[in-house]
Structure 1
Amino acid sequence: MDLQDQLKNLFPDHTPDPEASSVDSKNTIWMQEDPILCKYEKRKGKPITILEGYTGANEDFKILAKEIKTKLSVGGSFKDDKIIIQGDYRDKIMQMLKDKGFKVKRVGG
């Protein structure tokens, strides 16, 4: 039972405001059919994790990059349609993306 169902049980006479539901639609990220590729590389001797293959809007990919960096408390960047995360966090990132509903493919190692 999600939050909306619980609220309907608590307040059966309440009708939801249409403006409130439009705010939630801004935070949704476009899901794709093709998997996002999760790679591991070393640059200048330091490990990095690279995510590529997202076919949606760049703004959605930037939002996803910011969420990943915030949850893992690591640095990173968004360049050339790729998310670059400092460190080897392939397993954690893949689990986060699977929880969001993305298909993820591990590439190399």
Structure 2
Amino acid sequence: MDLQDQLKNLFPEHDFQEENHDEGTENSIWMQEAPLLCKYEKRKGKPITIIDGYTGATEDFKTLAKELKTKLSVGGSFKDDKIIIQGDFRDKIMEMLKEKGFKVKRVGG
């Protein structure tokens, strides 16, 4: 007997309606016309990838940063309206952003 059955036994007159919670992270992020810039740098001898140029809300960009870090299983941060990912993941990041519907421009080497 699951929770729904127990609730129906406790409240027989109540009409239960199922709610659909969609994980719409892709639709909740604001898409822009200008391309995002994907840069490669070395800081203290370590490679990093920087995503810059987002003009939407900061919270949307933070959500995107968290999603990228989770999918790539790497560390990173969000500072000064830039996503900083540890390592050289330009190709993978550009591919992921294009799948989401963003235009991406590769800057540097």
State the TM-score, normalizing by the size of structure 1: 0.77
2:64 is the alignment partner of 1:60: no
8 Å contact 2:39–2:107 — kept in the other structure?
A: yes
Residue 105 of structure 1 aligns with which residue? 105
Identity %: 79
1:84, CA displacement in angstroms?
Answer: 0.1
Of structures 1 and 2, the larger Rg is shown by 2
SS at match of 2:28: coil
Q: Secondary structure at the match of 2:102?
A: coil
Task: Provide the aligned length of Structure 1 versus Structure 2.
Answer: 92
Q: TM-score, normalised by structure 2?
A: 0.77
Q: How does 1:19-34 map to 2 (within 5 A)?
A: 20=20, 24=24, 28-34=28-34
After TM superposition, where is structure 1 displaced by more than 2 Å over at least 4 residues in a row? 19-27
Structure 1 segments unaligned to the other structure (5+ residues) = 1-16
Structure 1 segment 7-26 matched on structure 2, within 5 A: 20=20, 24=24
Deviation at 1:25, TM superposition (A): 7.9
